[in-house]
Amino acid sequence: MATAVSDREAALRAAIERDPADAAAHGELAAHYYAVGKLDESVSEYSLACRLAPDVPEGRYNLAATLNACGDTSAALDIVEQAERDFPDSAIIHYGKACVLQRIGRLDESLASFTIALELDPNHADTWYGVGIVLLRQGDPLRASSFFERALDVAPNHTGARYMRDALSGQARTRPDKSFVQELFDGYAAYYDEHMLEQLGYRAPQILCNTLANELRGAPELRVLDLGCGTGLVGSRLRPRAGQLVGVDLARGMLDRARTLDCYDRLECCDVLDFLNEQSHATQDLVVAADLFIYFAELDEVFAAIRHVLTPCGLFAFTVEEHTSEGWSVGPSGRFRHSRAYLETLRDRLGYTPRSFERTVIRHDGGEPCQGFIVAWSAGPETDLSL
C-alpha cells in the first residue's frame, strides 16, 4: 500500500518535471496529497495549479476546500469570494463558498450560497446535503429531512444523506457506514478541538479523566486503549498514567491531529470493533471511549469485545449521551443516545462490575445543554488495578 502511494506520487512528480507548467498534473498531485492527508503540500500544489490555469473554477474550488479543511477559513473565503467575482455562474464556486460560510457559522449566508449553487446545478447531491446540514444546525429537522431526500434522489448511495434521513425519521437501526464517519471526521478534524471545546463546551474528556484519576490512584503504569481517540483529547490527559497508549479511530484526519501531540505509542486507523476482535484476551488494563458510542445503536457486541481484551481487574470508562426512556434512540443530530437502564442491563449480562456513574452536561447542542453519562466499570469482580 505504502509503495503504491509513493509510486503514484513519483509518477505525478515525474510528469511535472517533464512539464512544470502542466496545471492538470499539479492538480492531480494536489488531490493525491489531499487523499493521503498531506494538506499543506496539497495547498501548495493547488495554488500552483491555480496560478498556471487561473480560468478553471474547479481549481479555485479545490484550493478553497483544502484551505477550509486545514482550518484556514479566512484564506479559503478570500479565494471563493474572488472566484465568485471571476465566475459568477459557477455552481461549484457558490457551493464552495457555502461550505466555508457554514464552517465559520455564517449559516444564513451559507444557505444563500447553497441556494444559488442549486439553481445553477440541481444535480449536485452534496449541495442538497449541505442545505440539510445547515437547516439542522438552525434547528429545522423537518425541512432538513426533505433536503436529504433530494440529495438521495440525485445520488441514491449518498451515505451522509441516507444516514441523516434515516436518523431524522427514527429509522437508523444500526451504526452509520464507516465511510460516513470517515468523511464526517476527516472534514471536521482541522477545527474539531476548537469547535467542540470552545463553541460546544464539550467536557467529556476532562470529566472522564477526572473520574479515572480517582479510580486509578495507586495503579501501576497501564496498558491503555483509547477507542475513537479522535484528535487525542483523552489520550493527552491519560499519557502520564500509561505504560502503553494505543489510539484507534476510523478517521485519518483525526489521527493526523492526534499524532501531532506525540502522546500515543501507536495509532491505528480502523474500526474499533475490527480492532478489538483482533486483540488477544486480557491484554489491556484500561479501555476508554469518550463520545464514541454516539455512533453505535446497540452496544452489546462492542462491550463484549472490550471485556474480552480487558484483564480481570481492568477498567472500562466511557461516555454516552442520555436517552431518557427505554433502550436507545437516535437524535435529530444523527447521534445515538442510550438510557441508563440499557447500559446497566448490558453491564450485568456481560459481567462487568460498576465502579462509578455520573450524569452531567457533556456538551451543548444548538445552544441547549446535552446530558450524558460518565461511566466506569471493572471487567470482573476484582476492582483493584494495582493487584
Q: Which residues bind ligand SAM (CB under 6 A)?
A: 181, 185, 204-205, 228-230, 233-234, 248-251, 254, 271-272, 290-292, 295
Q: Which is nearer to ligand SAM, 64 or 251 (CB)?
A: 251
**Contact call for residues 187 and 256 (beta carbons, < 8 A):** no
Locate all alpha helices (DSSP H) within 53-191, ordered by sequence. Answer: 57-70, 73-86, 91-103, 107-120, 125-137, 141-154, 159-168, 178-188
CB of 104 to ligand SAM, least distance (A): 20
Q: Which is nearer to ligand SAM, 91 or 181 (CB)?
A: 181
Q: The C-alpha cell of 305 is what?
A: 469485545
The secondary structure of residue 322, as a DSSP letter, is: B
Q: Cα–Cα distances in Å, from 387 out to 39, 325, 330?
A: 46, 38, 40
Q: Which is nearer to ligand SAM, 84 or 271 (CB)?
A: 271
**Contact call for residues 208 and 199 (beta carbons, < 8 A):** no
CB of 260 to ligand SAM, least distance (A): 14
Q: The C-alpha cell of 306 is what?
A: 472490550
Q: Which residue is nearest to ligand SAM (CB)?
A: 230
Count CA atoms within 13 Å of residue 286 on its CB side.
34
β 336-338/222-227 pair status? unpaired
* Cα 371 to Cα 355: distance, rounded to the nearest angstrom: 20
CB of 267 to ligand SAM, least distance (A): 11
CB of 293 to ligand SAM, least distance (A): 9
CB of 96 to ligand SAM, least distance (A): 24
Q: Which is nearer to ligand SAM, 99 or 233 (CB)?
A: 233
CB of 291 to ligand SAM, least distance (A): 4
Whats the size of the chain, residue-wise? 387
Q: Which is nearer to ligand SAM, 230 or 332 (CB)?
A: 230
Q: Which is nearer to ligand SAM, 181 or 320 (CB)?
A: 181
CB of 275 to ligand SAM, least distance (A): 8
Q: How far is CA 200 from the centre of its chain?
A: 15
**Contact call for residues 385 and 217 (beta carbons, < 8 A):** no
Q: Which is nearer to ligand SAM, 80 or 292 (CB)?
A: 292
